[in-house]
């Protein structure tokens, strides 16, 4: 068991190309060898029992029914050296500063357009641009208060930002739960070395949300707005509300009064709400402003927000920058707004909107990953070198029908880490989703949620499509 297998030509997070542990992973790799497979399997089984007992679930949809599944977790953690992490953290903060300045600019003066940096026609067909938000000015100029950016590492060890989730990113509760479970599985290692704690997140989240309250409110009331128990991330909504001591509300629990203030219905009557951490998509937030058929939202919520009587996080319309086409401009936006060079790399991105880039994509489709610009959850993704002829033909037809909605990137060799697979440790591909908070100040989680593709060779890490997860250790070396 001592030698951990890796894939030739790919980066492994725990061991180098000679099979030697990387410095930050040395203690872990030694421990894995010491324990042996039988003991590791036992700890894996115990962890899975903990997950069922603690009710850590996510919901998948099948035949129109939501089914609660136990959260898939692999006990072997993914390790990142603390000094590398500090560089990544700096890059993420820089990125979010620029993205927030961009969103604020787009809904207000559009300097970035006037200065010729960002072509406005890109927003003509944007499904995430909200005309209803024009002229709004949320506190601190921040729109994307909570961001989950997906990071991947290529074969040469470079960390890339793959996408920024600026609407309602989820996964942070699983990051926290994974840590709770992995502390039980590897208690000894936590006492031997310095692994950065992740538990501060919910306090930071609460502080950030409270800072958004309308001016003059002493002890603001923060609520978490959920679409309800049948949402796939309901577990997380409940978890975060619990940890923050905030009320978990559904649309029907809130009402906007004649004074344009938001209230919740309580056993004492109506109580004022100052900050809404919404986990509902823009389009369902307020049937008066967006989809009139939405039963999930709160009629009048946008009115209250525009009047400055309530803060909404993330702000409506923040998703305009959560778009794989806008993504291609992020390095330019960082240079433009901050006069700095990007600290974190963007993956080269071809925009099918432009004929020359589109032709390149169609000609080289076998070497590229094709992505819809506005989908999340991995749906509609095509990996060129694994797709059948029919799938490729369909993808080309889709691109030609709606070029604005498609982008393509080179196929990265996602890094791997040893993962428990049928009683063996096998290398499996993974990514990392850190969470970045922006309010009056910024905060980045220590690591984030590592998602792992459990099927051999698979690059799809989404839990809705058979992905698993790992704890992420930021280790001081």
Partner 1 sequence: MLLSRVADNLYWGARYVERADDTARVVRTFTEVLLDLPVGVASSWEPLLAVAGSRELFDAGHARANESDIVRFLVSDEANPGSVVSSVASGRENLRTTREVLPREAWQAVNDLYLYTQRDGESGVDRRTRARFLSRVISESQRLDGVVSGAMHRDEAYELWRLGQVIERADMTTRVLGVRAAALLATSDRVDDYDEVQWMGVLRSLSALQMYQRATRGPIVGSGVVAFLLFDRHFPRSVAGCLERARAALLRLPHPDRTLPAVDALDRLLADLPDSADDGRALDAAMDEVQFALGHLNVAVHDTFVRAAE
For partner 1, the closer CB: 53 or 135: 53
Q: How far is the CB of 231 from partner 1 (least distance, A)?
A: 12
- Please identify which residue in 33, 120, 217, 229 interacts with partner 1, judged by CB under 8 A: 229
For partner 1, the closer CB: 236 or 431: 236
Give dist(CA 477, CA 470) in Å, integer.
Answer: 21
Q: Does 54 bind partner 1 (CB under 8 A)?
A: yes
Q: How far is the CB of 274 from partner 1 (least distance, A)?
A: 13
Give the CA distances from residue 177 to residues 55, 72, 151, 470, in Å, rounded to whole numbers and listed in that order.
11, 11, 20, 10
Give dist(CA 268, CA 192) in Å, integer.
Answer: 51
237, two tokens: 């909504």
Q: How far is the CB of 234 from partner 1 (least distance, A)?
A: 8
CB 397 within 8 A of CB 411: no
Q: How far is the CB of 412 from partner 1 (least distance, A)?
A: 39
At residue 306, φ and ψ (nearest 5 deg) are -65, -30
Nearest CA to 471 among 75, 71, 150? 75
Q: How far is the CB of 272 from partner 1 (least distance, A)?
A: 10
CB 291 within 8 A of CB 284: yes
For partner 1, the closer CB: 149 or 221: 221
Q: Does 49 bind partner 1 (CB under 8 A)?
A: no
- Bridge-based pairing state of the strands 262-266 and 146-153: unpaired
Q: How far is the CB of 247 from partner 1 (least distance, A)?
A: 6
Give the CA distances from residue 158 to residues 17, 86, 326, 453, in Å, rounded to whole numbers and listed in that order.
15, 15, 22, 20
Residues 159-218 that bind partner 1 (CB under 8 A): none
Burial track 384-412 (b if 16+ CB lie within 10 A, e otherwise)? beebeeeebeebbebbeeebbbbbbbebb
DSSP secondary-structure letter at 164?
A: E
The angle subtended at Cα 198 by Cα 192 and Cα 203, nearest 5°, is 140
Give dist(CA 63, CA 302) in Å, integer.
Answer: 34
Three-state DSSP at 19 gives coil
For partner 1, the closer CB: 240 or 325: 240
- Please identify which residue in 19, 23, 55, 423 interacts with partner 1, judged by CB under 8 A: 55
Q: How far is the CB of 266 from partner 1 (least distance, A)?
A: 6
Residues 329-358 that bind partner 1 (CB under 8 A): none
For partner 1, the closer CB: 267 or 401: 267
Q: How far is the CB of 264 from partner 1 (least distance, A)?
A: 6
Give dist(CA 330, CA 163) in Å, integer.
Answer: 10
Q: Does 52 bind partner 1 (CB under 8 A)?
A: yes
CA pseudo-torsion sign 384, 385, 386, 391: positive
Q: Judged by CB under 8 A, how many residues of this single chain contact partner 1?
A: 25
Among the residue ranges 182-190, 233-241, 351-359, 415-423, the one whose residues contact partner 1 (CB under 8 A):
233-241
Q: How far is the CB of 49 from partner 1 (least distance, A)?
A: 11
- Please identify which residue in 221, 231, 445, 472 interacts with partner 1, judged by CB under 8 A: 221
Q: How far is the CB of 443 from partner 1 (least distance, A)?
A: 22
First-to-last alpha carbon distance for the chain, in angstroms, is 25
For partner 1, the closer CB: 264 or 325: 264
Residues 238-297 that bind partner 1 (CB under 8 A): 238-239, 241-242, 246-250, 252-253, 264-271
For partner 1, the closer CB: 239 or 406: 239
For partner 1, the closer CB: 230 or 379: 230
For partner 1, the closer CB: 162 or 181: 181
Among the residue ranges 234-242, 281-289, 345-353, 411-419, the one whose residues contact partner 1 (CB under 8 A):
234-242
Contacts of 35 (CB under 8 A, 6+ apart): 43
For the chain, the residue count is 477
For partner 1, the closer CB: 64 or 269: 269
At residue 446, φ and ψ (nearest 5 deg) are -80, 90
Q: How far is the CB of 267 from partner 1 (least distance, A)?
A: 4
For partner 1, the binding residues (CB under 8 A) are 52-55, 221, 229, 238-239, 241-242, 246-250, 252-253, 264-271
């Amino acid at each position: 068991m001592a030698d951990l297998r890796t894939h030739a030509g790919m980066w492994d997070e725990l061991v180098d190309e000679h099979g030697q542990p990387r410095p930050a992973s040395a203690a872990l790799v030694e421990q894995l060898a010491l324990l042996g497979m039988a003991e590791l399997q036992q700890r894996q089984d115990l962890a899975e029992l903990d997950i069922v007992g603690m009710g850590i679930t996510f919901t998948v949809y099948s035949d129109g029914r939501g089914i609660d599944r136990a959260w898939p977790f692999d006990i072997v953690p993914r390790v990142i050296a603390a000094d590398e992490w500090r560089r990544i953290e700096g890059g993420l903060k820089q990125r979010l500063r620029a993205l927030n300045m961009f969103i604020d600019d787009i809904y207000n003066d559009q300097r970035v357009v006037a200065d010729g940096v960002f072509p406005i026609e890109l927003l003509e067909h944007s499904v995430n641009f909200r005309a209803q938000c024009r002229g709004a000015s949320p506190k601190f100029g921040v729109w994307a208060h909570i961001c989950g950016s997906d990071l991947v590492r290529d074969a040469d060890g470079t960390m890339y930002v793959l996408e920024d989730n600026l609407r309602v990113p989820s996964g942070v509760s699983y990051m926290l739960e994974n840590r709770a479970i992995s502390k039980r599985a590897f208690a000894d290692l936590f006492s031997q070395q310095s692994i950065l704690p992740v538990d501060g997140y919910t306090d930071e989240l609460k502080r950030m949300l409270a800072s958004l309250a309308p001016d003059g409110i002493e002890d603001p009331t923060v609520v978490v707005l959920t679409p309800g128990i049948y949402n796939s991330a309901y577990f997380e909504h409940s978890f975060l509300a619990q940890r923050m001591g905030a009320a978990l509300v559904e649309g029907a629990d809130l009402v906007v009064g004649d004074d344009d203030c938001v209230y919740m219905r309580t056993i004492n009557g109506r109580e004022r709400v100052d900050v809404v951490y919404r986990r509902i998509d823009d389009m369902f937030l307020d049937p008066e402003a967006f989809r009139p058929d939405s039963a999930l939202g709160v009629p009048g919520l946008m009115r209250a927000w525009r009047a400055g009587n309530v803060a909404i996080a993330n702000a409506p319309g923040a998703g305009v920058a959560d778009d794989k086409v806008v993504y291609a401009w992020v390095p330019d936006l960082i240079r433009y707004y901050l006069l700095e060079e990007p600290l974190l790399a963007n993956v080269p991105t071809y925009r099918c909107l432009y004929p020359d880039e589109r032709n390149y994509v169609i000609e080289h489709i076998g070497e590229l990953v094709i992505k819809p610009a506005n989908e999340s959850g991995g749906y509609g993704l095509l990996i060129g070198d694994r797709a059948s002829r029919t799938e490729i033909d369909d993808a080309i037809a889709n691109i030609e029908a709606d070029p604005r909605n498609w982008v393509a990137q080179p196929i990265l060799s996602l890094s791997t880490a040893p993962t428990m697979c049928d009683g063996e440790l096998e290398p499996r591909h993974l990514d990392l989703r850190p969470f970045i908070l922006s309010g009056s100040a910024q905060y980045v989680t220590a690591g984030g949620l590592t998602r792992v593709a459990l099927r051999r060779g698979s690059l799809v890490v989404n839990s809705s499509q058979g992905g698993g997860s790992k704890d992420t250790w930021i280790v001081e070396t």
